[in-house]
Chains A and B, each alone.
Chain A
Amino acid sequence: MRLLVVLTLAVSCLADVTHPLVGWICDRAGSLRPVYGTAGAFVLGEAVSHNISTASFNGTRGFALKGGTRFHFDREGRLEENESAAEQSVAARFNGSTLILESTAARIEFPQPIERIHAMGEGWLAVRTADAVYAVSTSEGTEQSYQLPEAEQ
């Protein structure tokens, strides 16, 4: 029997255009901010929380540590206290100023020694050095680092 598959007319397709969320970071001032845009053209959004010591985001769910208190947060940055919240693991390690992506074995050099790395979004890492925060694309074939802008004062 021929399977009949009918897709509704295009006019009834529901379409929507919104801001492209790349991920979330804890900026150098300790604020939790969304990162919008695209590779090489990032924009930091408004801070949703301050005094954050560390944060990570895997594309759907985030982790933040604030004053010893653990939080989960969603794509919209809504925080929820949760004692069992844990920072997402990253498939990467660093040695001095070299980042090594475990999934692809790609090595990326930074101008200064790496201090910390976090998950920033789906297919993205946040790499922190003394003077800047970088976004690193981890998808195979696109491994590259980009310096993230500072939040405009």
Chain B
Amino acid sequence: MIRPLLLLISAAAGLAFAAGRIEIFHAPTGSSEQPVGSVFEMPSAPVGGASSVRFRLRNTGDAAVTLSSLYCVERWCSMTGAPPIPHIMAANTNVDFTIRFSPPDAGSYSATLKVNANTVLLRGSGVPAAVVYASGRAVQPGEAIDFGAVETGQSRQQTLQLRNPSTAEVPLGVVAIAGSSFSFAGGAPAGRIAAGGVLDFAVMFRPSGSGLTRERLIVEGREYLLTGSVNEPAISRPSLQVDVPTAGSAQQGRVSIHLAEPSRARATTGVLRMELQPAGGATDNDGSAAFLSGGRTVQFVINQGDSVVRFAEADTISYQSGTTAGTIVFSVEVGGYRASTSVIIGPERVRLDRSQAQRSGSSIDVRINGFDNTRSIAAMNFTFHLKNGQALTPMQVPVGPDFAKWWSQSKLGGAFAFRAVFPVQGDAAQIAAVEVEIPNQAGTVKTERITF
């Protein structure tokens, strides 16, 4: 029966050594932790401001321990970062938390920090000092006062305050700005602030560079961040204007691009495009429908102060409407904007440029230059006139296949040079003139009487 008694004694001995133990340390950032005794002096804090201290609870025992109480009860004493209670701390683990001391007035303060059965008396002093306010909110040292985004070349001013929440007058120490983008508008605040008084001062943000700016406001040695950012200004919305004598084929017009207000951006590139949408499913083969500078795309740069786009030395760029019925669409892309406008080119009868005829031996050579913006010529009617005034029976010549072949290979839109040679049996000298009727889907045009 000796063995069971030995087991009982050794089990009891093991229980006496396995225990958890919470110790309290001051754990400042960047320094080694120091054990905390029964009293701890909090750093002095300005009235209306705060000082903070990080504490560390470490279980220095060899068994887990339950953290059942962790609090600090005073209106000027707050705790952050603590775990929910109860909290089990394993051996050799730690829990960090922060105590914040916010004195409402000048003078001495104390509070009790309770950690399970242990207590620490926290003592601190409230020092009379001006508190920085921005947009009605107290700003703590290290926090940022943001001026937002301004455009290049612009500035923004914000009014800040120094408030004295204490019951005594406060002499204002040095207030300065470290940096070049922020400055005092109206001088740095100085003097004394009465008990409960407010001193306004203005800070101007006038950046010279671009991107994010961070500088410091220093009030009696306490630093506050001043932040702002710089944006490149955007241009205003563009609009297109087309000036042309008549909205039709074979016209030369002008396009201009206007901004709602002068550009504040330094240099913005853009592009103007011209697109031809032929009617009736015709192929876009019209090289004459283009800008006179060549092609259907023009790049440009809008400079600061421009309210109209400059093309070389002019406020407009010229274009040709071509010889194809349909729609011409002008579109501009610049600064994230896109605008467009259209010009309708209606179908029209064949427009004649030049009509000639000559007698060559026993044949008659008829030449007609012009354009058909509908590309629908299928036949021509020739009426020859004799010298005696008699008109011969009109002859219809089917020319559809000849024109179809031409449209398929042409890069001139609806422009054409037509030639017909009529062999003559008999005395060709008796034929004095010819008239030609050319119908298309828009109507019929007739040449003048061509004599030869």
Q: Which residues of A contact B (CB under 8 A)?
A: 3-10, 12-21, 36-43, 123, 131-132, 146-153
Contacts and interface: CB of A to CB of B under 8 A. Distances in A.
Contact of A14 (B412, B417, B421, B431): B421
Given A3-B427, A8-B422, A41 B396 contact: no
B352 to A, nearest CB: 9
A14 B399 CA distance: 10
B413 A147 contact: no
A147 B251 CA distance: 11
B397 interface: yes
A36 B412 CA distance: 8
Contacts, number: 141
A147 B320 CA distance: 10
A68 B396 CA distance: 52
B424 A5 contact: yes
Given A17-B403, A40-B252, A41-B288, A7 B351 contact: no
Chain B at the A interface: SS class? strand
A104 B295 CA distance: 35
B426 interface: yes
A152 B290 contact: yes
B395 to A, nearest CB: 5
B37 interface: no
A60 to B, nearest CB: 12
B341 to A, nearest CB: 20
Contact of B290 (A6, A36, A149): A149
A39 B21 CA distance: 103
A7 B320 contact: no
Nearest to B252: A40
A132 B318 CA distance: 12
Contact of A149 (B292, B386, B413, B419): B292
Contacts of A41: 249-250, 288-289, 320-323, 371, 413, 415
Given A42-B320, A153-B294, A12 B353 contact: no
Contact of B392 (A7, A8, A13, A21): A7
Interface in B400-435: 402-403, 405-406, 410-413, 415-428, 430-431
Contacts of A8: 422-425
B233 interface: no
Interface string B364-396: 000001110000000000101010000010011
A18 to B, nearest CB: 5
B398 interface: yes
A7 B362 CA distance: 10
Contact of A17 (B386, B399, B426, B430): B399
B411 A43 contact: yes
A38 B320 contact: no
